[in-house]
Structure 1
Amino acid sequence: MGAPIEIESVSQWNQTLRSAREANRPIIVDFHAEWCGPCKSIAPIYHQLANQHHRAVFLRVDVDRNQPIAAKYNVTAMPTFVVIRGGEVVDTLRGADAQGLAAMVARHA
């Protein structure tokens, strides 16, 4: 897939989830915020993983601009990484844990 897709709206989010579900592709979401230092530090690693794992759909959601999406997934800390498969959350990682993120992506992508 390449670079992560920055989600700009709830409708874009819903369409992307629907497309991934129909294609039987896992979704790996980075819930982040512009003001979050740890989010900025792990972003290059997330981008690198997206470039290495083309089967998964990598998304980025700014929690301040997309509060309804963040609320739906109970995101209370940033960064939070969520794996969605078939419309259901199957894994979650909170914090800028590079090794944990790489392991989570390897398990699901």
Structure 2
Amino acid sequence: MQIIGNTDKGYLISATEDELAIATGHTNTYSEGWRKFKRAIPASDTARLPIGTVLNVQGVFRYNASIAAHADKARECSSTLRALADLIDRTTPDAVIPPEPAGEETEA
């Protein structure tokens, strides 16, 4: 992706379709989400997006920023869950006493 010009509101860019797909959160142009996006655009042929097509990249960047902002908390939770799993594994008895068959009473 390359900036090739300026406008009053921003920039003009040169980008491949793969770059546009990735910038909008799709894996590549072969992903089903990108294909659905293209089919939903009126007058879109299979080769080119029409001039004036709006691509919302803000959602992708906000999502990624949110993930990055919460990464430390996720690691902390992961460590806590791992410690709890280890604790459960250590307290589980090696020999399990099977329950008594239904209908039989134990002597007290």
What TM-score comes out, normalization by structure 1 length? 0.20
Higher RCO (C-alpha under 8 Å, 6+ residues apart): 1
What TM-score comes out, normalization by structure 2 length? 0.20
Write 1 or 2 for the structure with the bigger share of strand.
1
Work out which of the two has the higher radius of gyration on C-alpha atoms and give 1 or 2: 2
